[in-house]
Structure 1
Amino acid sequence: MLRRQAQRESAARTYARSLPIVPVRARGLTIEGADGRRYLDCLSGAGTLALGHNHPVVLEAIRKVLDSGAPLHVLDLATPVKDAFTTELFATLPAGLADDARIQFCGPAGTDAVEAALKLVRTATGRTGVVAFSGAYHGMTAGALDVSGGATDVRVARLPYPQDYRCPFGIGGERGAELAARWTETALDDPKSGVPAPAGMILEPVQGEGGVIPAPDGWLRRMREITAARSIPLIADEVQTGVGRTGTFWAVEHSGVVPDVMVLSKAIGGSLPLAVVVYRSELDAWEPGAHAGTFRGNQLAMAAGAATLAYVRENGLAARAGTLGTRMLGRLQGLAAAHPCIGDVRGRGLMIGVELVDPEAQGPDDLAPPPDPALATTVQRQCLDRGLIVELGGRHNAVVRLLPPLTLTDEQAAAVLDRFADALAAAERVHRARPSGPAR
């Protein structure tokens, strides 16, 4: 199957290259491959599987719809399944948004919802430009690439996203975040900055693909103040951070920020494709048909999503993710003390990143050692050899990312970290055994 896949599928495939396995069964944290091997899955469909694989409440919700004889595809018509999903979703939204919100069902992927959000704020404000941040990832379609930094013909003003380890101002901490906020404010107010009044500002409360970088709460509050004072809609991309992943139901809740628009996908479909935009009613300036999509009425995804949202809410899984994530970060930070190749450990809840570096290549003026993507790739491979699936991310693909399901037990968390520690040590031995290359 792997050989046929390589022969038939596009060269753009990604996970299939770094994770050459053929899953045939899965439950919770565990995947079983066609070769009979079992793996602990800390990729979770890039954060889609909040409850892990094939959770009973998700399967039951899907079976119920299938057995009822209800239509599975209805475009944007009202159905009991959609009504139940919307009601459950609105019950979880940040206070201050749910009471006056509208929802737009989009195409099935998060990038579709990003495109809808950009179109929404442009329609509502009559402006065209967008403010986004360095290191962002919002999807792979044209507008989403514009605000992600992946496009060459950019119509977006990109501003610094604060971070401690590789601070764009070289200082980190509260002062670094304050400078990032002042830079944003100046760019918006200076008539010679080249940044015209934008239609919106889009940001991730925790940058995922950018390297698992949590936005400082104070900086997020400043972004809310800056945008509100200038009538700029604030768009929070919660595609990966939502549904309890970071320790609160929505990551913006850590800072108390209420955005004007929220982009939601991944976990809200309970493992099935679903994406929505939720926004303040005053932005609802669309004419009928102004934004549409054939596959915006997936009844199975709505049923699975409603079941997932309810289970996370009723069982306090967001708070559980926060508690367990703090413990896992603590153990990884202890591991970093014994392994200089771990430059930084960061994250929020069960959204964790470990940045791998080459400490021997650090120059006297370097604030941090250079990232080591080759070591990260070796660590990922060694993890797979030990039955642990992890993802790589970050600006240089040198951040090992852990996105386990929110149903992770203490024992499973310990097993994940044991396997990671063993894989890291093995990867270091492999690298030490390699002939040294030219000095960098």
Structure 2
Amino acid sequence: MSVASSLEAPPPVRVSPTVVETLYQFNDSPLLTRQAQQESNARSYPRRIPLALKRARGIHVEDVEGRRFIDCLAGAGTLALGHNHPVVIAAIQQVLADELPLHTLDLTTPVKDQFVQDLFGLLPAELVKQAKIQFCGPTGTDAVEAALKLVRTATGRSTVMSFQGAYHGMSQGALSLMGSLGPKKPFEALLSSGVQFLPYPYDYRCPFGIGGEQGVKINLHYLDNLLSDPEGGVHRPAAIIVEAVQGEGGMIPADVQWLRGLRRITENAGVALIVDEIQSGFARTGKMFAFEHAGIIPDVVVMSKAIGGSLPLAVMVYRDWLDTWLPGAHAGTFRGNQMAMATGSAVMRYLKEHKVAEHASAMGERLCEQLRALQQDFPQLGDIRGRGLMLGVEIVDPSGEPDTLGHPPAFGRLASLIQRECLKRGLIIELGGRHGCVVRFLPPLIISAEQIDEVAHIFAQALPAAIAAL
């Protein structure tokens, strides 16, 4: 049975003209009105996706007005199997039926032990044979914080290197690793030391103005020289942290040769390599983990989002040479979420048994083919990129002055209009990247070929409407 056919999908979304006209007229909705009045000014998604949701199944969500949407945000990649998948529901019901403890701090249980075995069964054998696991607070940012403490303790060094365009979370330590300057501005004095930023291999906007294979070579040469030059003015760092595919930074996949070179350079320099798989992990990129495309073995892997089977959970797996910190060096009350471990195990087994990574690869290529076809008629689609079902389209202004590589400038305003027009037509997508110019596709991995075609169809309808609204 195929991944798509293993769960019967609801009928395709059909949004009437009335819905299109009234989608943004939510002033009379008491839920949205109270949210705007009572929630923090830091709230983000409701500003761009003004929906009050009441139920969901598979790749679809329904709002309180009865409107149904294809969800290509999927909890920012959390919902690998979509909403309320039967294996997730069954795992939750079994935990409740068996009267298992729901909260155990870091005490072990059969559920926790099974979770660890299932996770280690997905990781490369070379990593597993020397692996340790740390259960963190139930967010990816806490796993990043744990990784920072781990490598600094083990190496006795304080500096960490990150990359331009990086996103690793919003707590203070993780925020210091972020490429985007906006969220860091209020804390500039607190975040100004201990982190050095490096150029990421962003081929379409190559930081060296070259691109292609030569751009990758220069990038690696720069990094190698930085770590080996005794007159370079840079202290040897405790670690380098990297996303094999930058998500919030604009769905930018790192060249596999660059990742191999990065691993070689860090090993030669005695620098730990931390790979952030919080969004890219668990079959999303067409491999179980994005770093597997390059065949490398990191020193640390941080994981969250899909690992909990749609419930909050975060872990860090690392090589045992780093395991020098003291008992209690990193703790958290909610690191013992048994229900999330049960649902996480259920999802991991499903991903493996149903070859979901291969399905995600095929569906991602299907969507890319249709986006590339649209690119022939819409020069505003500047770059189509990503891996598996972690895809982005960089929106550009064809009338603007091109950069040194001949690419038009980013067009964030048009990207916002495209998002709005997609939402009107029943498709939830998110934006990211520099200037908010990248339309991001992160659908549940169970999406079928027919549903991919519908996503592409809605996107194709939204493009001319967005351009006309400029």
Shorter-chain TM band:
over 0.9
Asked whether the 8 Å contact 2:53–2:61 carries over to 1, the reply is yes
The CA deviation at 1:254 is 0.5
Q: 1:436 corresponds to which residue?
A: none
- Equivalences for residues 121-200 of structure 1 within 5 A: 121-149=151-179, 150=181, 151=184, 152=188, 153-200=192-239
Asked whether the 8 Å contact 2:313–2:341 carries over to 1, the reply is yes
The CA deviation at 1:366 is 6.3
Asked whether the 8 Å contact 1:269–1:301 carries over to 2, the reply is yes
Asked whether the 8 Å contact 2:95–2:342 carries over to 1, the reply is yes
Greater alpha carbon shift after TM alignment, 230-239 vs 144-153? 144-153
Q: Match for 2:326 among 287, 290, 297?
A: 287
Q: Secondary structure at the match of 1:279?
A: strand
Correspondence 1:42 to 2:81: no
Q: Could you list the runs of 5+ residues in structure 1 that have no partner in the other structure? A: 432-440
Q: 2:25 corresponds to which residue?
A: none
Correspondence 1:331 to 2:360: no
Asked whether the 8 Å contact 1:24–1:32 carries over to 2, the reply is yes
Asked whether the 8 Å contact 1:132–1:201 carries over to 2, the reply is yes
Q: Using a 3 Å threshold, how does the CA distance of structure 1 residues 364 and 183 change in structure 2: closer, same or farther?
A: closer
Separation in 2, partners of 1:314, 1:173: 37
AA of the residue aligned to 2:120: F
Q: 1:252 corresponds to which residue?
A: 291
Q: 1:5 corresponds to which residue?
A: 35
The CA deviation at 1:365 is 5.3
Q: Match for 1:224 among 244, 250, 263?
A: 263
Q: Match for 1:16 among 37, 40, 46?
A: 46
Asked whether the 8 Å contact 1:163–1:177 carries over to 2, the reply is no
Q: Secondary structure at the match of 1:50?
A: coil
Correspondence 1:98 to 2:128: yes
Alignment coverage as a number of residue pairs: 431
Asked whether the 8 Å contact 2:118–2:349 carries over to 1, the reply is yes
Asked whether the 8 Å contact 1:164–1:172 carries over to 2, the reply is yes
The CA deviation at 1:194 is 2.8
Asked whether the 8 Å contact 2:402–2:409 carries over to 1, the reply is no
Correspondence 1:107 to 2:137: yes
Asked whether the 8 Å contact 2:136–2:142 carries over to 1, the reply is yes
Percent identity for Structure 1 against Structure 2: 57
Q: Could you list the runs of 5+ residues in structure 2 that have no partner in the other structure? A: 1-30
Report the TM-score, using the length of structure 1 for normalisation.
0.96
Q: Match for 1:399 among 438, 459, 467?
A: 438
Q: Using a 3 Å threshold, how does the CA distance of structure 1 residues 3 and 354 change in structure 2: closer, same or farther?
A: same
The CA deviation at 1:367 is 2.9
Asked whether the 8 Å contact 1:200–1:235 carries over to 2, the reply is yes
AA of the residue aligned to 1:105: F
CA deviation map 1:145-188 (0-9, x unaligned):
11113443242111100122100011111111111111111111
Separation in 2, partners of 1:366, 1:243: 34
Correspondence 1:299 to 2:329: no
Q: Secondary structure at the match of 1:370?
A: coil
Correspondence 1:320 to 2:356: no
> Runs of 4+ in structure 1 displaced over 4 angstroms?
363-366
Q: Match for 1:210 among 246, 249, 259?
A: 249
Note the aligned Cα RMSD (angstroms).
1.0
Separation in 2, partners of 1:365, 1:394: 19
